[in-house]
């Protein structure tokens, strides 16, 4: 007699896992009040995977450059932000055995140039830059964790956003950079090493908030570590300015970065080109961002109407939500697109800053209990299924969230407790596709009570929009 497994294949013996059921949460979904500010954000995220050195993003003028199309001619003055998020790998992996160890590190350089005839001062308000390995590995974390000290994170983008949310400036960044007339200075000069990693893959996320008292141009560049003619590692005798492993083997010099900027072409390989926004009938490719986005912060006062002063809580057992980071094809029925517009961009990169990576949301909710009895009110962030129009009267979630993580980051919540004492909480969230999430705060509000809740977060890299901010009132006990 043949063994049972030879007669009945394993696939027939193991029943398929049932697909998660969709759960419809009946409620109103509202567009988010407010808008992005006008602070420009230098957004360097394409190509995300960098295997060929070159120019990642340049806002320099094209005059005198070998490849004029690689330069977008956008000057900064006053407040601006710089965001960069790139990864690299040994390609192919056996290159690690053929090349010197220093050659396997790709360096990320960010250069600032003062084109004027007078010196310029650039203040660095907040700044952070971290690697995936070893600074912030992608690890499994609970869906909800208290994160008062900022020690909970998974991934470099998660850690960077948590630092900047707290107003930190990492110690590798000075408080100010002085750029003499007509000269350039390095704002960042750091490696993305892959030596010794399995697989040989690593990434770096960076966010810097700056203010300049004069005009400056900026560029992000990728360059492999430098070696001597005999192939040995080169050690620098002179330190490279700012955010640099001074004297580390292979670190490119300011002159080498300048040469790459003047004579180099765009880094590669190029990402998939985006689908034009008006072509709604085709499969949508959003593309990755390389350009200057219009906006750094979204401030919103959530009230009943534009002239209102309070946000009336839902009736017991009811809820309503506000769209967060809504985008083309994912407005959740609101018709609102929050993605920052691109002031300048490369033709093969995203048409808008879909996802708003690095942009801060400052949301104020002046809650008002207009009922005649005490109520328990919650405020939460949720990750419903993405859709353009709500096909059913409410948001769709999954009974068992999908395996893909769609949001991973820290949120700050400020409110007053039942003793009217101010409280500040930092909560780290990990939400998967279709996950309803847990309350950021539970408020016990007396009849006629008013309570201000403030929710702040920076939209983290590696997150997938949209999300919603939901206000709900617990049902009255029967």
State the pLDDT at residue 238: 38
From the list 355, 338, 373, 350, the residue with the least C-alpha distance to 446 is 373
From the list 462, 425, 439, the residue with the least C-alpha distance to 165 is 425
State the pLDDT at residue 1: 39
Using the predicted structure, report yes or no on whether residue 304 has a pLDDT greater than 90.
Answer: yes
| pLDDT tens profile 51-65 | 999 999 999 999 999
Using the predicted structure, report yes or no on whether residue 225 has a pLDDT greater than 70.
Answer: yes
Cα Rg, the chain, nearest whole Å:
25
State the pLDDT at residue 393: 73
pLDDT confidence tier of residue 7, bands split at 50, 70 and 90:
very low
Q: What is the rounded average pLDDT of the residues 138-154?
A: 97
Average pLDDT value over all residues in the chain: 90
DSSP conformation letters of 97-117: HHS-GGGGPEEEEEEEE--SS
Using the predicted structure, report yes or no on whether residue 237 has a pLDDT greater than 90.
Answer: no
Whether residue 112 contacts residue 213, with contact meaning beta carbons closer than 8 Å, is answered with no
Whether residue 204 contacts residue 192, with contact meaning beta carbons closer than 8 Å, is answered with yes
Q: Residue 127 and residue 355: Cα distance in Å, rounded?
A: 20
Using the predicted structure, report yes or no on whether residue 477 has a pLDDT greater than 80.
Answer: no
User: DSSP state, 5?
Assistant: H
Q: 3-state class of 96 per DSSP? A: helix
pLDDT confidence tier of residue 389, bands split at 50, 70 and 90:
confident
For the whole prediction, is pTM greater than 0.95? no
Q: Which residues touch 125 (CB under 8 Å, ≥6 apart)? A: 169, 209, 210, 211
Using the predicted structure, report yes or no on whether residue 100 has a pLDDT greater than 90.
Answer: no
Using the predicted structure, report yes or no on whether residue 241 has a pLDDT greater than 80.
Answer: no
Question: Among residues of the chain, what percentage have pLDDT more than 90?
Answer: 79
Using the predicted structure, report yes or no on whether residue 6 has a pLDDT greater than 60.
Answer: no
Q: Residue 247 and residue 182: Cα distance in Å, rounded?
A: 26
pLDDT confidence tier of residue 244, bands split at 50, 70 and 90:
low
State the pLDDT at residue 169: 98
Between 96 and 428, the higher pLDDT residue: 428
Q: Residue 430 and residue 410: Cα distance in Å, rounded?
A: 9
Candidate from 76-80, 103-107, 341-345 with smallest mean pLDDT: 103-107
Report the 10 Å Cβ neighbour count for 39.
Answer: 18
State the pLDDT at residue 243: 65
| pLDDT tens profile 306-322 | 889 999 999 999 999 99
Q: Which residues touch 217 (CB under 8 Å, ≥6 apart)? A: 58, 59, 60, 61, 74, 75, 76, 112, 113, 115
Candidate from 58-72, 284-298, 377-391 with smallest mean pLDDT: 377-391
Give me the phi and psi of 429, to 5 degrees please.
-110, 140
Whether residue 161 contacts residue 229, with contact meaning beta carbons closer than 8 Å, is answered with no
Using the predicted structure, report yes or no on whether residue 10 has a pLDDT greater than 50.
Answer: no
Report the alpha-carbon angle 242-246-249, nearest 5. Answer: 130
Q: Residue 112 and residue 11: Cα distance in Å, rounded?
A: 59
| pLDDT tens profile 13-23 | 556 666 788 89
Using the predicted structure, report yes or no on whether residue 323 has a pLDDT greater than 70.
Answer: yes
State the pLDDT at residue 92: 65
Between 253 and 245, the higher pLDDT residue: 253
Give me the phi and psi of 156, to 5 degrees please.
-65, -35
From the list 251, 248, 236, the residue with the least C-alpha distance to 107 is 251
pLDDT confidence tier of residue 9, bands split at 50, 70 and 90:
very low
Q: 3-state class of 353 per DSSP? A: strand
Q: Would you report the helix, strand and coil content of the chain in percent, each value rounded to 5?
A: 10, 40, 50
pLDDT confidence tier of residue 98, bands split at 50, 70 and 90:
very low
Q: Residue 402 and residue 434: Cα distance in Å, rounded?
A: 7
Q: Residue 55 and residue 44: Cα distance in Å, rounded?
A: 10
Report the 10 Å Cβ neighbour count for 241.
Answer: 15
Using the predicted structure, report yes or no on whether residue 47 has a pLDDT greater than 80.
Answer: yes
From the list 459, 456, 475, the residue with the least C-alpha distance to 467 is 459
Using the predicted structure, report yes or no on whether residue 165 has a pLDDT greater than 50.
Answer: yes
**C-alpha distances in angstroms, 459 versus 161, 174, 178, 250, 446?**
8, 25, 30, 34, 33
Q: Residue 104 and residue 198: Cα distance in Å, rounded?
A: 14
pLDDT confidence tier of residue 104, bands split at 50, 70 and 90:
low
Using the predicted structure, report yes or no on whether residue 174 has a pLDDT greater than 80.
Answer: yes
From the list 441, 474, 472, the residue with the least C-alpha distance to 319 is 472
For 14, the enclosing helix (H) or strand (E) is none
Strands (E), 225-333: 290-294, 297-301, 311-312, 319-324
């Amino acid at each position: 007699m043949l063994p049972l497994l030879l007669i009945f294949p394993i696939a027939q013996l193991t029943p398929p896992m049932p697909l998660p059921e969709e759960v419809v949460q009946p409620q109103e979904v509202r567009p988010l009040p407010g808008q992005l500010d006008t602070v420009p954000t230098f957004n360097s995220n394409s190509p995300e995977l960098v295997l060929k050195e070159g120019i990642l993003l340049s806002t320099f003028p094209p005059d005198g450059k070998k490849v004029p199309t690689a330069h977008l001619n956008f000057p900064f003055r006053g407040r601006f932000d710089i965001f960069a998020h790139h990864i690299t790998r040994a390609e192919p992996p056996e290159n690690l055995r053929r090349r010197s160890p220093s050659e396997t590190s790709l360096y990320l350089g960010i250069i600032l140039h003062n084109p004027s005839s007078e010196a310029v001062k650039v203040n660095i308000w907040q700044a952070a830059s971290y690697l995936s390995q070893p600074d912030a590995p992608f690890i499994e974390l609970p869906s909800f964790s208290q994160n008062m000290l900022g020690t909970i994170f998974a991934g470099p983008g998660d850690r960077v956003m948590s630092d900047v949310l707290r107003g930190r400036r990492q110690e590798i960044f000075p408080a100010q950079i002085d750029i003499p007339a007509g000269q350039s200075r390095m704002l960042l000069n750091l490696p993305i090493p892959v030596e010794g990693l399995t697989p040989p893959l690593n990434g770096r996320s960076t966010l810097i908030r700056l203010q300049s008292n004069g005009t400056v141009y900026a560029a992000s560049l990728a360059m492999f570590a430098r070696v001597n003619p005999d192939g040995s590692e080169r050690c620098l005798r002179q330190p490279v300015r700012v955010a640099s492993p001074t004297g580390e083997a292979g670190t490119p010099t300011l002159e080498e970065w300048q040469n790459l900027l003047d004579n180099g072409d765009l880094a590669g390989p190029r990402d998939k080109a985006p689908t034009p926004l008006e072509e709604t009938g085709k499969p949508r490719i959003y593309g990755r961002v390389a350009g200057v986005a219009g906006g750094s912060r979204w401030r919103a006062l959530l009230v009943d109407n534009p002239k209102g002063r309070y946000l009336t809580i839902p009736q017991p057992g009811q809820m309503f939500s506000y769209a967060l980071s809504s985008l083309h094809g994912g407005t959740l029925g609101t018709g609102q697109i929050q993605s920052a517009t691109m002031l300048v961009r490369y033709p093969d990169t995203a048409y808008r800053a879909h996802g708003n990576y690095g942009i801060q949301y400052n949301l104020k909710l002046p809650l008002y209990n207009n009922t005649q009895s005490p109520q328990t009110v919650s405020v939460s962030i949720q990750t419903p299924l993405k859709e353009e129009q709500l096909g059913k009267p409410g948001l769709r979630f999954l009974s068992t969230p999908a395996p893909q993580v769609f949001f991973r980051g820290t949120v700050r919540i400020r409110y007053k407790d039942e003793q009217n004492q101010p409280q500040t909480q930092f909560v780290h969230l990990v939400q998967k596709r279709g996950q309803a999430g847990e309350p950021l705060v539970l408020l016990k509000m007396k009849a006629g009570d008013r309570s201000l809740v403030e929710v702040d977060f920076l939209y983290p890299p590696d997150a997938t929009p949209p999300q919603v901010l939901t206000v709900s009132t617990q049902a009255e006990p029967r």
